[in-house]
Structure 1
């Protein structure tokens, strides 16, 4: 998988981001959390009106840095990440999803690097992520990126 671009999400990306995020949550958490908690997570995190609103926040909002997307060489969206700096000095990763066919190809790493750069530009010196479960399948990825546990299912790393 050759990554073509990481860029700010546009309104036209909202449906694809919503679908990608929902598929990622279902695929990662249904066996771990169960069907009903997974449905609740998808409902809360992946609603198209929510994604559209988050993309279209004019000039951003306090603490919100927005969505970034990654596209493959063919122009198709293969990943998305959302983050912000809700507390001075502390970046927070809200979502990171990569299509199954693009995983282990550097897409997640590229998205994390791009959002980390944005967070640093807004004064973040630490970066955190909260995972839905202690058995989260993305835990090895985050550990490889330098995150360490600060609580159950909550990780941190210096930026």
Structure 2
């Protein structure tokens, strides 16, 4: 698999984002989250109407910078990210997920880099992320990207 690129999500990506994100959450948090917290996380993060609406926000909304998708050389979506600048100067990664078969190939880094560039364009000088659990499987990735703990489940890095 070779990464073809990162692009802004289009309306036709909403179903793919919703399904893949739910599958990634299930596989990443199996054995870490109980059934009810898992369902709540999937319901909050993967609702198709919400993702569709977020993709179709004309020109974005204050603080919202949209969804990005990473595709392989055949055009299949292998990762997604969403973020914004909800507070002046502070970017927030709302979602970043990579399919299990595409992990450790640079997809997550490419998505985070693209999201960071968008945040910098909106004058963010810091980037934050909130993880669903303290012992999150994504913690090593974020640590490798320069994030440090702000508190339980909250990480930040300078941009």
Shared fold, TM over 0.5: yes
> What's 1:19 paired with?
19
1:10-159 alignment runs, 5 A limit: 10-159=10-159
How many residue pairs get aligned? The number is 159
* Alpha-carbon distance in 2 for matches of 1:77, 1:29: 21
SS in 1 for 2:31: helix
Structure 2: segments with no counterpart, 5+ residues = none
Provide Cα deviations, 1:29-82, integer angstroms capped at 9, x if missing partner: 231121111011101110100100000001100000000000000111111000
SS of the residue 2:114 aligns to: helix
Runs of 4+ aligned structure 1 residues displaced above 6 Å come to none
Distance of 1:50 and 1:23 partners within structure 2: 17
Instruction: Tell me the C-alpha RMSD between the 2 structures.
Output: 0.6
- Which 5+ residue runs of structure 1 have no aligned equivalent? none
How far 1:26 moved relative to its partner?
1.0
Q: Which residue of 2 aligns with 1:8?
A: 8
